[in-house]
Amino acid sequence: MSVRSIPREFHAKARIAYAVAWEGVITTHSNQVLEFILEFSSRIAPLDALDLYFRVVAVPEPMQESVRTRALPELDLDCLSPVNPLPTLSGWQLLLRPDLALKVIRYRRDYAEQTLQLARMVGARAAEAVTATHVSHATEFARMLAGAVPVEKAVAHYVFVFNLTQAMATTVLQRVQAMLAGQQLAQAYSHAPPPFSPSPYPAP
């Protein structure tokens, strides 16, 4: 995680802030994964639910294994609902009732599509939790660099380091600016404007 655009005296603090934020995001994803698996336990098996979470929530690839190893030890399989069995056909039904076979295929397809739609909705909730985590850490990052780096530049650096999507980056910047608006205004009004020096030359 680069610190080249940050003043040298903040390099150590910046790297610590990166590590804290990285751990914070992993923790948020891990908590959301556990909740996701629990909510979908009647539809799909736990490991399939974990893979589905990674499909519907933007988890950086370098972070995925850490999320797995953080979440799985906390998973209590005894608390999960059994997976509802889906209808199947076998034996003579497959040969003599092609209409039933087609009906089962459609049912299973519709069930899978509905599961994916629900997962996307729950994934949106998880994304909100992750966004809130990024906002919290980006705010602390901007506060740490206050006076040395403008808020927008500090947040832009945070966004770049964590490779946030454009939509999440915009949200994070807006929320951080909103949270620090009062502080920025107080600093601006605490200093008198620079003295005005009119040009000694007459206007043309």
| Residue 138 Cα to chain centre, angstroms | 13
pTM of the model: 0.80
pLDDT averaged over 10-residue windows placed end to end, the chain, 204 residues: 78 93 97 96 94 94 95 92 79 65 85 94 95 96 89 91 91 91 57 59 54
Q: For the chain, give the mean pLDDT.
A: 86
Q: Please report, for the chain, the start and end positions of each structural domain, with discontinuous segments joined by +.
A: 8-184
Q: Contact 28/131 with Cβ under 8 angstroms?
A: no
**Integer Cα distance of 74 and 44 in angstroms:** 18
Main-chain phi, psi angles of 189, to 5 degrees: -85, -10
pLDDT tens profile 119-157: 999 999 999 999 999 999 999 999 999 888 888 999 999
Per-residue pLDDT, 180 = 87
